[in-house]
Structure 1
C-alpha cells in the first residue's frame, strides 16, 4: 500500500484533532474528486513499519482524538490488506481514540460476502473503526453546509452500533453542529 500524505493535527476530517492518512489507489474515479492524483496505486510513498510507528507516535498526545483514513480509497480491495493491520494496531494501542474511514463504497457492499469489494480483511477493519463515511462524492448533491462530508448522499455510520444492531445506524453529531444551518450573508 502507498500513501500520498499524512496530515498531523487535522481538524477537517473527523471530530476533534486527528492524524489523517491519505492512502493511494482508487478505482471509483468520482467526477470532481478533490484528490485525483491519489487514484494511482503507486502515488506517493510506500507505507512501511516506520510509517506505522510515526502514526502511532502522533496519536500519543491526549489532545489528539484519533485517526482518519481517506484517500484515494482505503477500502479498495488492494488496500485492505494494508489498512487492517494499521487499524488493529491503533485500536489496540489507543482503544479510547476514534478511527474514521472515508470510502466511496457503500457499507452494504462492503459487508456482502459476494461483493468484489468484500475481502478477507473487511470484517477485521470494520470491527476496529468507529465511523465509516460511505458513498461516492456526487457533484449534484454537493452541500458545503454538511459537516465531515461533501455530498448529501454520503452517510456517517456509527460502525460499532451498526455491527451490534445488524442494521445501519447513523452517527449523530453534537446538537450544536447538527442544528446548524448555513445562511449566506446578504447585504
Structure 2
C-alpha cells in the first residue's frame, strides 16, 4: 500500500482519538487541497497492511481508523483489508473521498464496494474552495457529507451521520 503518512492520535479526522492513514495518489486535484503532497501516485512510500495494523494497535486509547488522502478508493482493496482489521479490534472506520457515495455505489472503481462495506462513515465529495468552512464538522467544505454507510445501504438512500449526544444517557433528577 502506498501512503504519504500516518497520524497516531488525530482528533480532527472523526470523533475520538483516531489512527489516520493518508493514502498516496489522488486524481481529483481539488484547488486549495490541504494535502497536495498526496496527489502524485508515485510519491510517499510503500507499507504493508500488516505493518499499518501493528501501528494502529500501538495505542490502546484509539477509538477509530480514518482513511484519508490522497484518495483511499484508489487503493480500495488494501484500505478495506486495514478497515477489516480495525473492526476486528472494535474500532470504527471513517473514509474520506473526493468521489460521491452514489458514484462509488456504481462499482466502477475496483474494490470500492468492499471498502464501502468496511466503512462506517463516509465523508464524500470534492473539497470546494468556494465552500471552505471551519464550522463544517469533520469536513473541509460545506458540500461534503458525513454519510452513515450502514444505515444508507439498509435504507436504500443517503442517511447522514449525526453526532451522538454525549449527555443522552444522563437524567436530571426531579426536585
Tell me the TM-score range normalised by the shorter chain. Answer: 0.7 to 0.9
Q: Deviations over 1:95-118 (max 9, x none)?
A: x321000000000000013xx4x3
Contact 1:20 1:68 in 2 (8 A): yes
Counterpart residue number, 2:26: 26
Counterpart residue number, 1:88: 84
Residue 17 (structure 1) shift: 0.4
Residue 175 (structure 1) shift: 5.1
Counterpart residue number, 2:132: 142
Counterpart residue number, 1:71: 69
Gaps of 5+ in 1: 177-187
Counterpart residue number, 2:116: 126
TM-score with structure 2 length normalisation? Answer: 0.88
Residue 50 (structure 1) shift: 4.7
Aligned pair partner of 1:173 in 163, 167, 170: 163
Q: CA–CA distance in 2 between the matches of 1:49 and 1:20?
A: 13
Count of aligned pairs between the two proteins: 166
Q: Which runs of 4+ in 1 moved over 2 A?
A: 49-56
Q: CA–CA distance in 1 between the matches of 2:5 and 2:25?
A: 13
Q: CA–CA distance in 1 between the matches of 2:114 and 2:65?
A: 16
C-alpha spacing 1:49/1:80, structure 2 compared with 1 (3 Å) = closer
Gaps of 5+ in 2: 167-175
How much is the aligned-residue C-alpha RMSD, in angstroms?
1.6
Residue 90 (structure 1) shift: 1.8
Q: Deviations over 1:49-90 (max 9, x none)?
A: 45233234235x1x31110010100012xx113212111222
